[in-house]
Amino acid sequence: MEPHVQDPTFSSSLDNLTLSDRMTRVFHAPLSSFRAVQQEQSWQDWLLPAVLMCIVWVATNYLTLAVMGNPELPAFQQRLETLTEEQRVQALKSLGMWRQHGWFTMPIVSTFSSLAALGLVLLALGRYAFRADVALRGMLVVKAYAMLVLIPEWIVRTPLILIQQTPDIQLGPGALLSEDIAATFVGRILAGIDFFDVWQGWIMGVGLSVMAGIPTRHGIIAVLSLWGAWVVVGALLAPFV
Model confidence pLDDT, tens digit, residues 104-114: 888 999 999 99
How do residues 140-189 score in pLDDT, each as one tens digit?
A: 999 999 999 999 999 999 999 999 988 889 999 999 998 899 889 999 99
| Backbone region of residue 228 per phi and psi (left: phi > 0; alpha: psi in -120 to 50; beta: other values) | alpha
Rounded to two decimals, what is the model's pTM? Answer: 0.88
**CA separation for the pair 92, 79 (Å, rounded):** 11
Residue 11's pLDDT is 53
Alpha helix (H) ranges present in the chain? 8-15, 19-25, 30-39, 44-63, 65-68, 74-81, 85-97, 103-124, 136-147, 150-164, 179-182, 185-191, 195-212, 216-237
68-to-95, 98, 114, 136, 232 alpha-carbon distances in Å: 9, 9, 21, 35, 27
Do the Cβ atoms of 126 and 142 come closer than 8 Å?
A: no
Do the Cβ atoms of 175 and 168 come closer than 8 Å?
A: no
